[in-house]
Amino acid sequence: MARPASLAEAAAALRRRTISPLELVDAYQKRIEQAADLRAFITPPGEQARREARRAQQRLARGEAGALLGVPIAIKDLFATRGLRTTAGSRLLRDWVPSTDAALVGRLRAAGAVIFGKTNLHEFAYGVTNANPWWGVARNPRDLRRSPGGSSGGSAIAVVADLCAAALGSDTGGSIRIPASLCGCVGLKPTYGALPLEGVIPLGWSLDHAGPLTRTIEDAGILFDALSGGRAWKQAQRVALRGLRVGLLHDSIIQPLQPGVSSQVDRAAAALRRYGLRVRDVRLPEMAWTVATQLVTLRAEASAAHARWIRARPRAYGPDVRIRLQLGALVSGADYVVAQRMRAKIVGAVRRLFDDIDILLLPTTPITAPVVGERMVRWRTREEPVDGALVRLTAPFNLTGVPALSVPYGEVSGMPVGLQLVGRWNDEARVLAVGRLIEALASR
């Protein structure tokens, strides 16, 4: 049998026993060997994954159940994995083999998943290019000259290049949604706190989220439910879409925007209107404050998280991450307090916005994947750092903690465009429901 194209198909085929967990693992491992130049993995799946697959095979033969029984799930190398090296993309932790699993890895095991290697990331998840100085510069599977985005770049590559059934990532300023947008897969950042972060190496305590990267919305829903213990995907399939209020964000933070990206957003909005959703332009002036607020918050929290290591071994960090951490040490307590007061005002504005709409629609990233090593985006009237451009439209929803989903929708010059759907706190079901519609409209 051909290798299943999605997590849902893989799980169904395993239950029907038309393919075995070991056959599935071996097929993916062969593809990983053929795609080594993508640098998707720091620690590729090895014999441990085959042992887990054999155990899953025995359980399936006994008729046991499990939402993900025998399904190979790749893990961002920021999550502790029992008996499997966890580096956080760093040199400092290159030989660390945890004795316990991160909470979410434990939940994947409980659902029967095969833990399928550790994916490449921007060092300590502190960056969005996935140009890792210790484990290799990751490459976009759609065009090897281009960046996959980060910091969960390896997880997105593994999904898009068909190296696993799905992957687990983390998101502090866009690190799930950015690579999903640039590589062309689905990426879900759930509500803050919806998924436990025990056993995940922190970057910004009040900003960190975990979530799935998958090929389809259905896969994201299935994996999110397995991770959360909830029923968001089942609820999503009962959401009434016609008449749903969609706010199309038109504000200063959106601009500048690559014209092709803008066209795809407008095309999607028009398609939603034709389907019966009530789409209207909305503004959220407080979004203009998010860039500075996110920067101060993350710089301070990341510097605190790394205070001991950065003082003792600064040269053990790559140059870009070392500089960010050292700059973070200069953020004063007063700056941090002012940023949190501003953050509270942004949260209040978002709460009021969702009194009038059900879903917010905007691009995930204002550009498609940049060339590896490109530092500036050249707009008509000015330049913008690539890092700043990539997080400009994602970071606001880490500050506010609302669920945000990136869905592929069209292409510009052969590279994928991501649409971002944002919902109320704990309303993943409605976000997934609209995401599923967008996905269906994109294929027409």
**Residues acting as catalytic residues:** 76, 151, 175
Between CA 207 and CA 43 the distance in angstroms is 27
Count of other CB atoms within 10 angstroms of residue 349:
15
Between CA 444 and CA 271 the distance in angstroms is 10
Between CA 431 and CA 423 the distance in angstroms is 6
Q: Where are the beta strands (DSSP E) in 11-113?
A: 41-43, 72-76
What are the residues whose beta carbons fall under 8 Å from the beta carbon of 337, sequence distance 6 or more? Answer: none
Question: Do residues 158 and 74 make contact, with C-beta atoms less than 8 angstroms apart?
Answer: yes
> Of the candidates 212, 154, 164, 219, which has an alpha carbon nearest to the alpha carbon of residue 53?
164
Query: What's the chain's Rg over C-alpha atoms?
Result: 20
Do the bridges between strand 359-363 and strand 415-422 make them parallel or antiparallel, or are there none, so unpaired? antiparallel
* Amino acid, single-letter form, for residue 219: D
Chain centre distance of CA 393: 14
Do the bridges between strand 136-137 and strand 131-132 make them parallel or antiparallel, or are there none, so unpaired? antiparallel
DSSP SS3 for 117? strand
> Of the candidates 166, 161, 152, 85, which has an alpha carbon nearest to the alpha carbon of residue 119?
152
In a 13 Å sphere around the CA of 151, the CA atoms on its Cβ side amount to 27
> Of the candidates 66, 370, 156, which has an alpha carbon nearest to the alpha carbon of residue 58?
66
What are the residues whose beta carbons fall under 8 Å from the beta carbon of 383, sequence distance 6 or more? Answer: 376, 377
CA separation (Å) from 164 to 3, 75, 117, 338? 10, 10, 9, 43
Cβ-based burial of 334 (10 A; exposed 0-12, middle 13-18, buried ≥19): exposed
